[in-house]
Chains A and B, each alone.
Chain A
Amino acid sequence: MAWLILFSPLIACLLITLITLRNSKLSSWIAVTALLISLGISSSFFLKALLTPHWKPMELSIHWITLWSLKIEFGLILDRLSLLMLMVVTGIGSAIFIYSLGYMKEDPGKSRYFACLSLFAFSMLGIILSNNFIQMFIFWELVGASSYLLIGFWYEKDSAADAGNKAFLVNRVGDFGFMMGILLCWSFCGSGLPERTFNFNQIQHIFSEMVGAGLLSPKLLVVAGLLIFCGVLGKSAQFPLHVWLPDAMEGPTPVSALIHAATMVAAGIYLLARLFFLFDASPTAMTVIAYVGAFTSVFAASIAFVQNDIKRILAYSTLSQLGLMVLAMGLGGRLEAMYHLTTHAFFKALLFLGAGSVIHALHTQDIWDMGKLFKKMPITSITFLIGTLALCGLFPLSGFWSKDEILLLAFEKNIFLYRLASVATWMTSFYMARAFFVAFLAPEKKIHHPVHESSWTLTGPMIFLAIGACIAGFIHIPEFILGHDVLESHINLPIAFTSQAMSLSGIVIAFFLYAYRDAWGAKKLKEIFKIFHIILSRKYFMDDLYNGIVKYIQQNIAVLCHLTDRNLIVRFGVNGVAKITKTSGEFLRFCQTGRIQTYALFFFAGITVIVFVFILK
């Protein structure tokens, strides 16, 4: 049964590509059914874990590669952590799959879309269920590949095709570190043991023994931890590998919702949680992780201030929220991070779906082209508002609970990071409110064809997610993961009030700047802080920097290698030898008159000489 959770989307993907590629309607339903099957099975496990008092985690595995020297398993791990993630991925995934039914209805590549989406679901479930490093890496890469396919889904658009490449390559850079981290872990975990292993549980076991015995040098731990964290940087789009995520918005909107907001980017956080024992052993690595998270969170939020594309605003807000989760992980708050991951998945998916609904109706992504949508698309608007408020962390929506936990944690552990996180919270509410006011409340700027509310396949999932965004905070995720009650109380009133005040002030300022007197204040502000505006809209020149590196450094290395090959090795080495041979031939060929008589003359002259020599002797 448990295997079916993982393989049912893969089967769907194969069915679609091999058989039903022509019939797009059937293909889409196959994909939806397959994911619903996964959802059903995982929720049965989830309920069992929730209701059984002493539920024991399960692990199933088969041998995938068995060599004399190397054993790699292929297994499933079903513990509370993976069950929670399973519920998030299959639950939100199902909603988005259904949403896609409506959103992609007219697209000629619908079958391909659902095949890729199923492949993505398979890979994502694989990451969650992996019980060893190699399997994790396999699905890690597969997620990257399926995301590449989906971002570049509209491959005829140059921007989409480029964005796909960018995403894949940036992820590869992260995976380069991840792979080395895996190998490093493998080589120090179990040296001296008969069999080395990649299995998480076994490594954890060995690890705790070795740490206990003081066998591991702290330097090695830091290196291993940070290398593995490189993978997280790539997949969860943390600074400095964040550049791919905003571009990834070139994909269809449901894809952005599923992959680049709710699930795939959460894989990095999940990895941190899964390997928490490893990071926990090295305080230096943890500090680095926490600072990277906090920095990304503020950094991305500031860029979101000046974005005009509704999906890009959401993308930067995703970066910022992921930064908060990474910060929580870095401060040792595994539960808090997972809590925020869950709630964030709900409201971010909801926001993307809302944006998708608007884009579907208006065919534009620029918030300044929208406006006055509240009347035309009431359901979309209300659900979007719920999502926005949840993201801003207003009481009693889900964002409040989880964000508050993180702030509290930061307050207790590191006051500087707490301040950064609070600033990020304020910024979040500001730019989200800005997007909402401009897109939904401001008077419309362009006259569009008549705009209607979207059909039920679009609104249904949105309503479902909106309910989730409201109530997800009340489900006590940390307790579920631990399997027992958390002893300390969660709410620290001063902190909660501060965060509420921050969020509200952000919203109010945004209101005065953008919803009041035709965004007059915003224009004024833009003129005053022109330089900041340019820096922000160029995304701190990060893209230009990377493009420069690729264009000037990498391309020059490539050309250098090419020219060395062509001029040094071929011209001097290979053709040089050939030329020597040829030149010596040029000289020797004068002996070769091609006339038999010349040869005969030499021949007889030679014989005569020999005969004379013999006679004279």
Chain B
Amino acid sequence: MGILTYILLLPLLGALVILFLPKEKETWIRRTAVAATFIPLVLALLVWAKYDRTLGGYQFICRIPWVPSLGITYQVGVDGIGVVMLLLQGFCSFAATLISYFIKTRIKEYFVFLLFLITSVYGVFISLDLFFFYLFYEMAVLPMYPLIGIWGSTNKEYATMKLTLYITTGAVLAFVGLLVLYFASGIHSFDLIALEEHCAAHPLSPELQKFLFALIVVGFGVIASLWPFHTWSPMGYAAAPSGVSMLHAGVLKKLGAYAMIRIAINLLPQGAAFWSSTLATLAMMNILYCGWAAMAQKDMKFIVGYSSCSHMGYVLLGIACLNQTGLNGAVLLIFAHGIMAALSFALIGYCYEQTHTRRVDELGGLAKKLPFIATCFSLAAMASSGLPGFANFVSEIMIFIGAWENLTPQAIAAIFGIIITATYLLRMIRHTFFGPLNPKWEHLKDATAPWQKLPYILLVSVLVIVGFWPSLLTKPIDLGISSILKRSERNIDRMFVKNNISIEKSEPPKA
């Protein structure tokens, strides 16, 4: 079966078990959910530790033919990028499940949906078959609808409808792209490894690549909140319950960026080269525009929501670099920002739970009453504004270095973005946690129980450990990126050879 299949099926199994538990047994439901996310986390750590760094490539492959006539295979496996994504999803889902202890109504249904969502996200990260990739991707979108619609707050019906429609539309665009890819490749297989080999050896025509790249990047860009398709995201996060916002900002949003690297860059390098500067400019819009929009917000979740759109701009910029350093930075930032976003939403969730408001101007001086939460929040804000010592800094600096060479104007805008980020985050911290304490909040209680603190401590320590010792993750990422870039070089070389031949033919013989 393979360890990856276990990771995939365990949360689903947990969901099944919860379905059969009576709904009064709330403790058991929660414990099952925690176990069903904790074991995959351990397994993901195991995969990360066991991943053979000398060998590289896809490992832990499990392959079961599904619909052979259509070339659909259940094929899972991870390369260096996948390993890191697994870890991200492991940490985020475990922490989100712990945070969901706050949920008081319809616990059973909540955890069933949540675990279903977690399974699907794992599925996206490990599938090496485009059909299953898309299947899991859609499966991940669907549980969001009830999760936000039922357990959400602020304007939840509008938000959940918008979010689901938006992402589904994007997914359909991307699906069209995948189908075109399937038919155009001529091997009638959804198998990603086979497609990679095929595309490297027989590249698609440049026009088709350009078209497909645009289609796939816009399709998946919707979920990665590519400007101007980002508006679902702050609103969706504001409406979602905190556990769901964590998963959404932490991992779901990253699915888009992951898909861009895994499919668009991997299979369509010439399309990527063609669109690179356009994508970088959109990313720049993400960074600056969403950063400024965040500055004008009053609701903490909206601030962090816009901030995550702004940070996805850095990821997209890293992707647009199309070089080793930039892509490495993008993948690492996917990880770092995922953890950071999950942490921020968890903390906002805690404050909201206590104060029942998220408006920055109504809070103030909370650090006095909530020292632990305030510390974690400051750390999260510092991490987010790219302070050294956190994983975010390492990845951002890699992106800056990667982008500086060929995308200098966008890189300058991105570096300017760190000032904007620091401005709105520090202002938020200043007005919620510092300053004199509003007497209204005298009754607040800090997180004291170990299980309450655990998710925050876990996420903070991951950020710090990776920040101090980035090689833990950059080694596997580098392997994955190298093989993608090597293939794309082959692809471009081959195209070059083809073109050369045609040029030679078309050139009139010299006298």
Contacts and interface: CB of A to CB of B under 8 A. Distances in A.
Given A142-B389, A559-B296, A562-B296, A68 B478 contact: yes
Interface string A27-67: 00000000000000000000000000000000000011111
B427 A561 contact: no
B361 to A, nearest CB: 14
Interface of A: 63-70, 134, 137-139, 141-142, 145, 148, 152, 155-158, 161-162, 164-165, 168-169, 172-173, 175-176, 179-180, 183, 186-187, 554-555, 557-562, 564-565, 569-570, 573-574, 578
9 contacts: A64-B471, A69-B323, A70-B324, A161-B430, A162-B430, A176-B416, A561-B289, A561-B292, A578-B165
Interface of B: 162, 165-166, 228, 231-232, 289-290, 292-297, 323-325, 328, 365, 367-368, 382, 386-389, 393-394, 397-398, 400-401, 404-405, 411-412, 415-416, 418-419, 422-423, 426-427, 430, 433-437, 470-471, 474-475, 478, 481-482
Contacts of A169: 419, 422-423, 426
A558 B295 contact: yes
Given A152-B434, A176-B415, A141 B387 contact: yes
Top 8 nearest A-B pairs (CB, nearest first) are A562-B296, A69-B324, A558-B295, A161-B434, A138-B388, A561-B292, A155-B434, A558-B296
Contacts of A175: 418
Given A142-B387, A165-B430, 17 more contacts: A65-B470, A67-B474, A67-B478, A70-B328, A138-B393, A141-B387, A155-B367, A155-B435, A157-B436, A169-B426, A179-B400, A558-B292, A558-B295, A558-B296, A561-B296, A574-B166, A574-B232
Contact of A139 (B231, B388, B474): B388
Contacts of A70: 324-325, 328, 398, 401
Contacts of B162: 574
B467 to A, nearest CB: 10
Given A558-B293, A574-B162, A565 B426 contact: no
Given A155-B434, A176-B416, A176-B419, A168 B296 contact: no
B18 to A, nearest CB: 35
A144 B162 CA distance: 41
A565 B293 contact: yes
B207 to A, nearest CB: 29
Q: Which of B162, B401, B415 is packed against the most chain A CB atoms within 10 Å? A: B401
A558 B310 CA distance: 13
B427 A165 contact: yes
A139 B289 CA distance: 29
Nearest to A145: B387
A186 B401 contact: yes
Contacts of B397: 134, 137
A157 B165 CA distance: 47
Given A69-B323, A155-B433, A561 B415 contact: no
A202 to B, nearest CB: 16
Given A152-B434, A183-B411, A68 B324 contact: yes
A41 B178 CA distance: 62
Nearest to B421: A172
Nearest to B295: A558
A155 B433 CA distance: 8
A162 B426 CA distance: 10
A570 B293 CA distance: 13
Q: Which of B165, B290, B434 is packed against the most chain A CB atoms within 10 Å? A: B434
Contacts of B422: 168-169, 172
Contacts, number: 135
Given A70-B398, A141-B388, A169-B423, A65 B292 contact: no
Contact of A145 (B297, B382, B482): B382
Contacts of A138: 388-389, 393
B435 A161 contact: yes
Contacts of B471: 63-66
Contacts of A187: 404-405
A392 B406 CA distance: 52
A172 B437 contact: no
Given A168-B426, A183-B411, A64 B482 contact: no
Given A141-B388, A179-B400, A186-B401, A569 B393 contact: no
B401 A156 contact: no
Given A172-B419, A180-B415, A156 B470 contact: no
Contact of B228 (A168, A183, A573): A573
Contacts of A560: 292
Contacts of A67: 324-325, 328, 398, 474, 478
Nearest to B427: A165
Contacts of A66: 471, 474-475, 478
B336 to A, nearest CB: 13
Given A158-B436, A554-B295, A562-B297, A64 B470 contact: yes
Contacts of A162: 430
B168 to A, nearest CB: 13
Contacts of B292: 554, 557-558, 560-562
A169 to B, nearest CB: 6
B436 A156 contact: yes
Nearest to B388: A138
A180 B295 CA distance: 24
A66 B473 CA distance: 11
Nearest to A141: B388
A387 to B, nearest CB: 33
A10 B393 CA distance: 19
A264 B174 CA distance: 52
A155 B434 CA distance: 5
Nearest to B433: A155
A554 B162 CA distance: 30
A358 B276 CA distance: 62
B356 to A, nearest CB: 23
Contacts of A68: 324, 478, 481-482
A137 B435 contact: no
B368 A65 contact: no
Nearest to B375: A17
A158 B231 contact: no
Given A64-B471, A68-B482, A138-B388, A183 B231 contact: no
Contacts of B393: 138, 141
Nearest to A135: B388
Q: Which of A66, A68, A157, A169 is packed against the most chain B CB atoms within 10 Å? A: A68
A145 B434 CA distance: 16
A176 B418 contact: yes
Contacts of A180: 412, 415
Contacts of A186: 401, 404
A175 B415 CA distance: 9
Contacts of B368: 156
Contact of A156 (B365, B416, B419, B426): B365
A569 B295 contact: no
B312 to A, nearest CB: 15
A410 B63 CA distance: 77
A562 B389 CA distance: 32
Contacts of B482: 68
Given A70-B401, A168-B422, A158 B435 contact: yes
Contacts of B293: 558, 561-562, 565
B231 A569 contact: yes
Contacts of B166: 574
A145 B389 CA distance: 11
Nearest to B309: A565
A554 B400 CA distance: 24
A164 B166 CA distance: 41
Nearest to A134: B397
